[in-house]
Each structure stands twice: as structure tokens, then as C-alpha cells.
Amino acid sequence: MNYTTHDYRQEYPLRTTIAEVDLAQLRANFRAIRTRGGNTEVMPVVKADAYGHGIVPCAKALIAEGATMLGVAFAAEAEPLRSDRRIPYEIPIAVVTPPFPHGAAEYCRLNLEFCAASLDTMRAFSAEAARTGRILNAHLTLDTGMHRDGIPPNEALEFMRSASYLPNITIHGICTHFATADEVDKRYFHLQVRRLNDTLQTLRDAGFLFRYVHAANSGAVADSSTEAAFTLLRPGIALYGYNPSPELASPLDVKPVMSLKTSIISLRRLAAGEPVSYGRRYTTPRETTIATIPIGYADGLRRSLTGKARVMIGGQYFPIVGTICMDQCMVDVGDAKFSVGESVYLLGSQTSEHGEIRIDADEWAQELGTISYEILTGITARVPRIYLNS
């Protein structure tokens, strides 16, 4: 989308750097994930402000598409969801990081589901739920090999027997987290699946049943199909258009939801041999035009992308040159004829004379030796989000 069809310069006169979030594409990604998982129920993970895309608009779109519940990392992330009247209060919100006992009052106030991984926490939550007349739902969280959160499988039966006496709490889910679901070598993944299944059978034999059994992150949904789907999928990064790893044998058919764009604010013609930006890291190799664009590392365009990143203008790629500044950076456009105000894409796609060209978060991640998750969540709050197809 360009300024001829939607004039963001008028809508956001104080900032022309914006992130477009296509909610129709988000919903399409949700459908692709659900289909791959055998039409199992889905708990979209909207933590970290929906991976930088905006938690409330994304949550609304995912609920409309049929999300069973929403997943967040911390109770504080549920606050804007519970405060927005357009999101049904009845929609379950599960906090996937185990809480402290002192968080009981807030979990009751916000009606949140929590990870059952500590009897001390269970007792505190039970007491507060009883005091306030709440019935809290919980998910037994197993450590099957990630060694981050949860209780060991061999302690699960004793835990459930102790927790079953606590009033006002229903443990209606059981879950774990896979460490290597997106890697070529699936042996450890299969071990974790087996540990979960064995524990589940032990608990069932003792009379403990669960409505929700969930472990499938994006990698597990992509490469294991229904093997690890259980009764609830728990995708994250794939919702936002990125497969979690290039090692996947069967990548999900998803497309990026966010585009990042700005505009040229100045143009200057420089002779050969002129330095550009801090530290004079770039010197013009020939007479050329340098375009300045108002985006920098305070917006999420990492300074470490200096000498590595490129942009798209008018259906062509051009390099960002010189040190990336906090608020601006420079682009060498050579002899191309552009004007101040011209649209510049940093993430997204454009149509060129040879077809579509694209820059995505995976490209930045590869240059930086990181992952798309970090790129997307690093687009800072001072970049306005524009929601398309809401």
C-alpha cells in the first residue's frame, strides 16, 4: 500500500514511519495452522504485545477466527485484554509463565488461568479464590526436558493428589514445552512427546482427566502434524507469518503480517569520497544521491545492521549506508530520481518490473545471527501501528 491509496502523512502528520499490520493475513495464518494441526482447537500466543503487532487488535481478530483461549506470558499482559470491552470477558486467558503466590489477587481479579507447578502457589491461589468466590482454572505444567518451568513427570501424580484437595481450583489442562520441535533431529522432541504421553496415562489411570492437553508450538504444528497436536495447539511466531526455523521439513504456509515503512525526508547529491554518518564508516565510492529516512535504532532498526540492511524504494533495493543513528539513517540511491516524501519499505514487499521483491524479518535475523522473534518484538512502541482489514 502506498500514499496514493492511503495518505498516512495526513493521518499521522507527526510521524511517517509506521508499521502496517494486516489482520486479514493474521486470520489466514490462523486458519493455515489450524488446518495443519488437524482442526484441533487453538490457543494463539499473543504475549509480548502479540510479538510486536499489538495485543488487543490481534486478539480481537483471532477470537473472531475461532480461538479457544489466548496465551500470554505474564498477568500484566492480560490487563489490556480484560480492559477492552470489545473482547468478551468470558474468553479464557492462560498465563504460560508460572506465577508467584503473591499474584493470587490479580489472577482472581482478571479471571486468569495459570500454570500449576508449585503447591505453595496453588494453596495461595486456592485461598484467594475461595475468599473472592472465584473458581480458577489451571494447567498442570510438566518439565519433560526443556528444564525451564514445570514439575518433573515422576512427581505429577503426587502433585495432583495433593492439589486435588484444594478448593476453588480446577486443573483442567496439562502441558509442556518442546525444546527442539523446529530442528531436523527430532529424537529429543519424540522423547518429550513420549514423556508427556506416559505421564498423561499414569494420571488417567489414577482418575485425573484433563480437558486440554497442549504442547504444540509453531515448530511442532509444522513438522509433526497431528502427532503432538493433542487437544489444543499453542502457536506463536507462525501466527505472525514466520516459520520458527529454516530446518523445518514441512514449513507452514504463512505470510508476514507486519510491514515497516517510512518516507524520504531529504536528498543530497554527494561527490565521490564523501563520508556519511557517525564515524565515517561509509565513503561514497562515486558521485551519488544519499536519501535520509526518519527511522533508527530507537525504532527497532538495530545499529548492528549498519552495512548489512537494505530498503525498497520504487520497486528496487537500495543499501542503508553509514552508521544507523537513533532516529535516522541514510540510503545510497545512486542516480535514481526520487522525491522527498517517497515511500520506503524496510519490511514488506513491493512490485518491481521483474515481479515481487521482499524484505522480511528473517533477512534481518540472518544478518544479525538471531531469530525473527527478536526482530519483530524489537519494533518499538514509538512506531505507530496501522491496522488493515480490521
Mean pLDDT, the chain, whole residue set = 94
Nearest to 313, CA basis, from 287, 341, 274: 341
Compute the average pLDDT of residues 287-301: 98
Residue pair 232/212 in contact by the 8 Å Cβ criterion: yes
Residue pair 23/31 in contact by the 8 Å Cβ criterion: no
Compute the average pLDDT of residues 72-78: 97
Asked if the model's pLDDT at residue 51 lies above 70, the reply is yes
Q: Is 47 a catalytic residue?
A: yes
Q: Is 60 a catalytic residue?
A: no
Identify the pLDDT of residue 228: 82
Domain boundaries, the chain: 23-240, 258-359
Amino acid at 358: R
Asked if the model's pLDDT at residue 352 lies above 90, the reply is no
Whole-angstrom distance, CA of residue 278 vs CA of residue 304: 13
Compute the average pLDDT of residues 134-138: 97
Asked if the model's pLDDT at residue 269 lies above 50, the reply is yes
Asked if the model's pLDDT at residue 11 lies above 80, the reply is no
Compute the average pLDDT of residues 350-375: 95
Compute the average pLDDT of residues 143-164: 97
Identify the pLDDT of residue 93: 98
- Of all residues in the chain, the percent with pLDDT exceeding 90 is 92
Asked if the model's pLDDT at residue 10 lies above 60, the reply is no
Identify the pLDDT of residue 30: 98
**Topology (CATH level 3) of domain 23-240:** TIM Barrel (3.20.20)
* Catalytic, out of 8, 47, 186, 261: 47
Task: Tell me the per-residue pLDDT of 52-73, one tens digit each, with 9 for 90 and over.
Answer: 999 999 999 999 999 999 999 9
CATH number (3.30.450.20, 2.40.37.10, 3.60.15.10, 1.10.4160.10) of 258-359 reads 2.40.37.10
The C-alpha cell at 41 is 482447537
What Å distances lie between residue 287 and 270, 311, 313, 332, CA to CA? 6, 20, 19, 10
- pLDDT confidence tier of residue 4, bands split at 50, 70 and 90: very low
Identify the pLDDT of residue 354: 85
Structure pTM?
A: 0.94
* Catalytic, out of 12, 89, 278, 317: 278
What Å distances lie between residue 174 and 159, 160, 371, CA to CA? 12, 11, 28
- pLDDT confidence tier of residue 3, bands split at 50, 70 and 90: very low
- pLDDT confidence tier of residue 2, bands split at 50, 70 and 90: very low
Region of residue 300 (phi > 0: left; psi between -120 and 50: alpha; otherwise: beta): left
* Core vs surface per residue 163-175: b (16+ CB within 10 A) or e: beebebbebebbb
Asked if the model's pLDDT at residue 12 lies above 80, the reply is no
